[in-house]
A = this chain, B = another copy of it.
Amino acid sequence: MERHTYLTLTAPEEARERWFSRIRELCAEPEEEFAPLSEALHRVISRPVEARRSSPAFHGAAMDGIAVKAERTFSASLRSPLRLTLNSDAFWINTGHPLPEGTNAVIMVENVNVEDEGQTLVIEKAAFPWQHVRKLGEDMVATEIILAPGTRVGPYEIGALAAAGVTSVPVCRQPRVAIIPSGSEIVALDEIREEDIQAGRALPEFNSHVFSAMIREAGGLADVHPVVPDDRSELKAALLAAVEKGADLVVLNAGSSAGSHDYSAQVIGELGEVLVHGIAVMPGKPAALGIIHAGERKVPVIGTPGYPVSAIVAMEEFVVPLLCLWQKREAPHREKVEALPCNPIPSRPGMEERVRVKLGVVDGRCYAVPLPRGAGTVTSLSRADGIIRIPRDCEGIGAGEAVEAELLRTREQIEGALLAIGSHDNTLDLIDSFLRRTHPRFRLTSAHVGSLGGLLALQRGQCHLAGCHLLDEESGVYNQRAIREQLPDLPVMLVRLVDREQGFILMPGNPCGIRSFDDLARDGVRFINRQRGSGTRVLLDYQLKKRGIPVTRIAGYRDEEYTHMNVAAAVLSGRADVGLGVRSAANALGLDFVPVGVEEYDLVIPRRYRNDERMIALFEVIRSQAFKESVLAMGGYGVDRTGDIVWES
C-alpha cells in the first residue's frame, strides 16, 4: 500500500481533443480497402464511387407491348386506325427488353388490336418518340459519381453499386482494436469456476464482451487478448504484442486508476506517452489516454476503468469517436427529449455526471426516475431508458426542473411505456415480459421507491400506476386509507395484483430459530430492514409497536435495502440472519421462509387511464390465465382476485 497518487482531472472534451490531435500528429490512419459487394453493407465509402456502366445499358421497353418507330405512327387516330405489319413495322416486346434496331417507342399491349392471325397490329393513337422507353443511362451514366465518400452503405446503396457494376467497393478499412483484459483475480467467462466466484477468489471478466460489441457497432474489428495479471512487465509485453499484431488502437481494461495495483498509466508512460490521466466525468473518472511508441509505429492506447459503467463511459467518450473519425462515420446519435426528474438529482460540482434514468410519458410530460448511480451497476444501463448529463458547473437538478435526456430507446418505445413508481414486487417484471410478448409496442417500466413514495408520485402526476401494500393498523384494511390521505383529489381504481405471503427470510434450516417478531429482538440476531415508506417496513413497525418492542432492540434496524430480493441476498450472504419479505424472494435464492401473514398487493391506477390502450393491455395481461400461472409458479402468491378492481376512490 506504499503508493497512492491522485488523478489530475481533465474535462472530457478537452481530453479527447488532446488525445485526437496527438493521434493525428503521430499515428497512421487505417487506409482504405476494397470489399466485395456482398460484404459492403454498413461499411463506409472511402472515395467517390463512379458508375462502371450506364444503367440501363440500352434503350429498353418500359411496358409490355409493341416497339415501333414513332414517326411511322403519327397518322394513327381513332377515326383512321393504322395497320402495322408484325416484325417489319412493329415488334412484340416485353418490359426490360432492348428496342429492336430502328424503333424508338413502345405502345402498350392494351392499346394494340391484333388482326390477320397476328400478322397485322392495329393502333388508334400515335406514339410519341421515346414513349414507354427506359433510355440508356436513365438511372445513371457510366463515370458519374454515384456515392460520395463518407456514405454508409445501406440496402439502397447496395442497389446503386450493383446497378453500376461496382462489385469491389472502396471502403474505409475497419480499425483493428486490441482489447487486453487485466487483473490478477480476473478470469475469462468461459474458464471461470462457479465456486471461485462465490468464494471471491475469481472475478468474471466481462468488460471485453461489452467492448467488443461497442467496437463492432462502431465499425471496428475487436480482438480480445488473454487476461494479463497485475504485473508491469507482463502488461508491457501484452501491449507491445498487440501493437505487433497490427492493432490500430489498444484498449487496456482495468488498472487505470491510481491504486497500488493500477499500473496502466505507468506502463503506458514507459512505452510512450500519457496525455491524460483522469477525466472529470462520473462514472468514468479513472481513464488514461496515451500513445505507445513501438519503433516506427505509434499506436493510440486507452486505459479504461474496471467498473463496467465507468469503462463504458470511457469507451463512448474516447474510443467510439476515434473509430468514427477514422472511418469518416458520423458519431452515433441519440435522440433527445426534455424530461422532468421525479426527485432532485444532486451532483458534485467540477464533475460531469451521467445519470441513468427510467423514463415515462405521463399526460404529455416525460418524467425521469434516476437509477442507482454506482459505477459497478451494469443493470443501471441495461434497465435505463435514457441518460441525463449534469454539467460540470452544476450542483444538481431540482425535482421537476426540465432537463435534456438522451434516449436509449426509440421515442415510440418511451411513449409505449407505462411508468410504475412504488413498491417493488417481482410480478412487475413478469407483467413487463408478458406485455412485451403480447403487445410489442408496450412495456412496463418500473422504479422502486416503496408504497408511500408511489402514492406521492401519483399525487404529483409523475407516473401511470403505483404498486402498493400499506396496511391500515386500525382497520386492518390495505391501501384504502393511505389513498384517501395521500390522494384526496385523485379518483383512482385499486386493482388487485396479488395476495402475497410476507414472512421471515432465513438461512436454510433457520439456524437462529426465528418464529415470531419477538425473536427479532433476541441478542445476536441480526436483522436486515427495508427502507422507510415501504409497505414491509410499515408492517414491521406495526408488529413491533403492537408487541411493545422498541426499535433500538433490533440489531440492524438501520441497515436498509430497497427490494425483497436484496433483503434475501443480505441473508444469503450472511450479512444478516433474518429479513422480512415475500416468499418468492426466499424461494428464488433457496432460503427458508416463515410466514407471518398474507397481504394485499395492489396497483393504484388513476381512473382517467381506464381507457388508455396501454392500460387496457396491462389489464389483459394480468387477467390472463398464463400470467396467473406464472405468478403461482413463483410461490407465495395468491391470484384469486388478480385483475379485479377491488375499490375505487
Q: Which residues of A contact B (CB under 8 A)?
A: 1, 4, 37-38, 41, 47-48, 53-60, 62, 64, 92, 94-98, 104, 109-110, 114, 129-130, 134-151, 154-160, 162-163, 165, 167, 183, 185, 189-190, 194, 197-200, 203-204, 206-207, 209-210, 212-214, 216-217, 257, 259-261, 306, 308, 312, 328-330, 333, 335, 372, 374, 376-379, 381-382, 384, 408, 410, 412-413, 426, 429-430, 432-433, 436-437, 440-441, 443, 559, 563, 565-566, 568-570, 572-573, 575, 588-589
Contact = CB atoms under 8 A, between A and B. Distances in A.
Contacts of A194: 53
A41 B213 contact: yes
A162 B379 CA distance: 11
A14 B389 CA distance: 45
B569 A148 contact: no
22 contacts: A38-B212, A41-B216, A48-B433, A54-B572, A55-B378, A57-B200, A58-B198, A58-B200, A95-B259, A97-B200, A130-B575, A137-B573, A139-B374, A141-B563, A141-B566, A145-B432, A146-B382, A151-B436, A156-B378, A158-B209, A163-B206, A163-B378
Nearest to A65: B1
Given A139-B378, A144-B565, A156-B408, 10 more contacts: A4-B110, A48-B433, A55-B378, A59-B575, A146-B379, A158-B210, A159-B378, A162-B206, A328-B440, A329-B440
Contacts of A374: 62, 134, 138-139
Contact of A141 (B143, B165, B565): B565
A136 B570 contact: yes
For the complex of A and B, the 9 pairs showing the least CB-CB separation, nearest first, are: A98-B200, A137-B569, A162-B206, A143-B588, A160-B382, A155-B213, A150-B436, A136-B573, A141-B565
B217 A141 contact: no
A462 to B, nearest CB: 22
Contacts of A198: 53, 57-58
A383 to B, nearest CB: 8
Contact of A210 (B162, B189, B210): B162
B157 A589 contact: no
A141 B589 contact: yes
Contact of A197 (B57, B157, B573): B57
Contact of A163 (B1, B41, B308, B568): B308
Contacts of A573: 58-59, 135-137
Copies in the complex: 2
Nearest to A445: B148
Given A141-B568, A569-B141, A588-B143, A37 B189 contact: yes
B440 A136 contact: no
Contacts of A333: 410, 412
A171 B141 CA distance: 45
Contacts of A136: 569-570, 572-573, 575
Nearest to A48: B433
Given A95-B259, A154-B213, A197-B57, A149 B436 contact: yes
B150 A440 contact: yes
A382 B147 contact: yes
A137 to B, nearest CB: 3
Nearest to A95: B259
Given A137-B565, A149-B437, A572-B136, A165 B377 contact: no
Given A1-B109, A109-B1, A430-B145, A210 B155 contact: yes
Contact of A433 (B149, B159, B443): B149
Nearest to A197: B57
Contacts of A217: 41, 154-155
B145 A429 contact: yes
Contacts of A306: 95-96
Contact of A60 (B129, B200, B433): B200
Contact of A137 (B54, B189, B207, B566): B566
Nearest to A324: B440
A204 B163 contact: yes
Contact of A430 (B48, B139, B260): B48
A47 B127 CA distance: 62
A412 B335 CA distance: 11
A217 B412 CA distance: 19
Contacts of A142: 588-589
Nearest to A207: B159
Contacts of A382: 146-147, 156-157, 159-160
Nearest to A560: B130
A228 to B, nearest CB: 16
Contacts of A432: 145, 148
B206 A159 contact: yes
A201 B216 CA distance: 42
A439 to B, nearest CB: 10
